[in-house]
Amino acid sequence: MSSAVISFDNVSKRYGGAPPVLDRIAFDVRRGKFLAIVGPSGSGKSTLLRLINRLIDPSSGIVRVDGKDVQSTDAVTLRRRIGYVFQGVGLFPHMTVAENIAITPKLLGWDSARIAARVDELLELVRLDRTSHRERLPAQLSGGEGQRVGVARAIAAGPKIVLMDEPFGALDPITRDALGEDVRRLHDTLGLTTVMITHDMLEALLLADRIVVIRGGSIVADGTPQTLMSGVQDAYVRALMATPRRQAERLRALDRPA
């Protein structure tokens, strides 16, 4: 039995007569792995993510989840099995923290006692105080708190796949780093398969087991952080890798005695 939870088989996506947004993409995501997809704006990263849970359908090729063509699966049923952390949080402003987290469990018919226990469990998992945060509205949360609620909502019904679209982009550096560590901890603790879109190569290197770099709708690099750090042929990927290297060199220089 294949360990691939998500697979792209020669997948392309185009809109009308424009050039393809994605062009013959092929790769697998193995069970329990944390994959980061990196690339410039307009490279097709978010399109690729939306193909997994059928927010859009491919123009050609096959996307599979758990070995099954997603186009043969009811889209709503598929989405309820896959957690999704939106860019910019995306919490419902008129709902409390508890109500936002409970959305998918309610849709699945969970009883109120089970939902309440799950909300409390998740608030603890994402390091929010359940007494002080449960009844707050999104407007009463900091950016980091809101994104933690977004993560809790994504995993509320116990999905084994989580998709994350630039989840930390609007956060300050300290909050971003702490939340990134907590997301990786949840990934490992819950045995998730995670696909994260980011434009930040350093973030990808520190969090992911594997990195796919997309440019112009095509994969230009695919490997572990160690593989990409050791050198690749593509000039764009070399330029991406130069930034964290320069940052590391500057930090080492600052740490040397004057």
What percentage of the chain carries pLDDT values higher than 70?
98
Q: Measuring CA to CA, which residue among 4, 141, 142 is closest to residue 63? A: 4
Q: What 3-state DSSP class applies to 23?
A: strand
pLDDT value for 242: 82
Q: Where are the domains of the chain?
A: 4-223
pLDDT value for 9: 97
Q: Any residues with CB less than 8 A from the CB of 162 and at least 6 apart, and which?
A: 82, 83, 84, 85, 154, 155, 187, 192, 193, 194, 195
Q: Which residues pair with 86 in a beta bridge?
A: 89
Give me 92's structure tokens.
């419902």
Kindly indicate the confidence band of residue 89, based on its pLDDT and cuts at 50, 70 and 90.
low
**Interatomic CA distance for residues 192 and 66, integer angstroms:** 13
Give me 144's structure tokens.
């980091």
Q: In this predicted model, what pLDDT tens digit does every residue of 8-54 receive, in sequence order?
A: 999 999 988 888 999 999 999 999 999 999 998 888 899 999 999 99
**Average pLDDT, rounded, for the chain:** 91
CATH 3.40.50.11540 describes domain 4-223: no
Q: In this predicted model, what pLDDT tens digit does every residue of 107-156 receive, in sequence order?
A: 999 999 999 999 999 999 999 998 999 999 999 999 899 999 999 999 99
Amino acid at 52: I
Strand arrangement of the beta sheet that strand 60-65 belongs to: 22-30, 4-13, 60-65, 68-69
**Interatomic CA distance for residues 212 and 93, integer angstroms:** 34
**What DSSP string runs through 34-91?**
EEEEE--TTSSHHHHHHHHTTSS--SEEEEEETTEEGGGS-HHHHHHTEEEEBTTB--
**Interatomic CA distance for residues 37 and 102, integer angstroms:** 29
* DSSP, res 215: E
Give me 2's structure tokens.
């294949």
